[in-house]
Structure 1
Amino acid sequence: MDVNLFDFHLPEEQIAQVPLEDRTSSKLMVVNRDTGELTHGHFRDILDYFKEGDTLVVNDTKVLPARLFGVKEETGGKIELLLLKQTEDDVWETLAKPAKRVKPGTVLTFGDGLLRAECLESLEDGGRILKFRYDGIFYEVLDQLGTMPLPPYIHEQLEDKDRYQTVYARERGSAAAPTAGLHFTPELLAALKEKGVRIAPLTLHVGLGTFRPVSVDDVDSHKMHSEYYELPESSAQTLRETRANGGRIIAVGTTSTRTLETVIRDHGDFVEASGWTDIFIYPGQEVKAIDGLITNFHLPKSTLIMLVSALSSREHILNAYEQAVANDYRFFSFGDAMFLTRED
């Protein structure tokens, strides 16, 4: 399948640079995943599309202040790091910029020596394995020195770093936010619960795959980077009960979807599970774990728009994106939302 089949024209001015003050005031496009029929509203309206017995699945990962600015200890040359995932105690996979300056044996310092790191291994595409040294607690040092790792298409400074966290973020470890969840507020979640909707949290720590574009012409040749996930037994039980009682499972974001599909693929049912997943979902594959998806509007030719298309069809999704452009929707991390669902 040609990756160019998932291309579309997006005016640069529709890439959201800052979040809206009210999380629920974003636009919401509701798309029937079977017919492609769509309606327009605002995210606060999503309450009207839920019913008692449904379950909302959220990714409770918390974004680390994972971007660090430092220097080479030997020369003073400036280096930028993005922490991607912890592989063992104090050892992290990172992206270095400029990577050519960071070779095995290179020592980097941050915050006038509060944090030091030695490069252990070079990886492809600017990846580096680093071992960190510090006094105290690593995450406290990181909170002091690090900044939020906003995607490269966002050029504005983020005044409130909590706006790049979901209100239910708990488990720290991500290099990027699961952005579909940014639209929810505590009040909206409470209203869903009042309506009889259950909330099932899981964790997937967003890593390198978010920053790596599809660089091959054939979709089937693309390889996803692995990311760590956990589905707790309490959530698995909620999901089993939802299915048994005829309720719908609605995933918030592609990360929640990929986690649930991994568990179903590997275990055949919703069970307590954890591990690493590199699952790649695109048209031609059956999506078995969920009935609906809340998601943002994604990059052209990205694995994310491919996943969304797998839940409906490429034609329906590209038509929805064309309508989003025509109706001045805001795109990407701080942008507007789509709800893919089907009639009962």
Structure 2
Amino acid sequence: MAELNAFYVTDRDAWNAFVEHAPYRSFPQLWEWGELREPAGWRAIRFAVGEREDQPLAGAQVLIRTVPLVGWRLGYAPRGPIGHFDEPETRRSLVAAMRHLRVLEGLATLKVDPEATATDPLGRALLGPPWRASTKVQPPRTRVIDLSLDEEALLAGMRKKHRQYVHKAERAGVQIEQLAMNATPNETASALADFYAIYRETAERAGFAVRVQGYYERVWSLFAPRGHASLFFATLDRERVAALFHFTCGDRAAEAYGGMTESGAASHANYLLKWEAIRAFKAAGFASYDLWGIATGGIAQFKEGFGGRQIEYIGARDLPLRPAQDAALRLLLPAYGISQRAHLRLTGHRLAGSDD
């Protein structure tokens, strides 16, 4: 392998093209995710390594934030790094580029959180030095449904009770709709308001936190125009009673936010909604459907009932770049690991579906 160069990527289309085709790809590495986090005080950089700048082999979008009071900087690569990591030289070059962020960006610590397992080349590399285990940000476990299976096989992979609830919802008259990409501004605003009302009602009932409505409107405005977001509803008697918000990245679709009203739960609309979303992504040519996190209790049972393969990721890992600052942060800030995770959650990096 020829010598690899490290470089920043400053073109949105070039970066997203790399992300959408890279191994370990995931939507939080898309350019728009960095833009989404800017109002919360994060600044995004995108860097890669490769023989040529127009052919990156591996890289990461890193979000940078200054720690209050002390002024030191932390970096976080949500669901990164991504790329081709089979060759040791690629792994070494990327770590060298990450270490150089100490000088270029003034980072004290860099946290990564890729979709890598302990048996992957990337996962094995991150489980050893110079990396250390870190506090969880993104869900460490998920279930992924293989959309190359035919519909009969997908149905067979579901629990019997889930199949029954899908058919009950159909008989109850539940209908499924998807917000069209060419919807008018008024139609889009109405759909997002309905989604938020459903999601907030679900959060109040289940006891999890949601952000303000404007956050989800901004998500849609950033991701949907580039084809990276979709919104499905289940309706009953012309009323929207369940909703699912997805991100897409390359040939992968992932759930992010969803919920149902009491009437949606009573009619099992959420079962039909998820099944029809799976069918829609399969029909559109997607290769996989990520249920995005396996929590505990009823939510876990609901997701597991749709089949798929459970995947355990290695979790977040830290690369200390300024040892003295890194050590001081861990010692001096109250419960540094917990507070850092809480900070990331409050500022929008932890997605619905984690199993806290």
Shorter-normalised TM range = under 0.3
Between structures 1 and 2, the one with greater helix share: 2
TM-score normalised per structure 2: 0.25
Bigger RCO (CA 8 Å, 6+ sep): 1
> What is the TM-score with the length of structure 1 in the denominator?
0.26
Please state which structure has a larger fraction of its residues in strand: 1
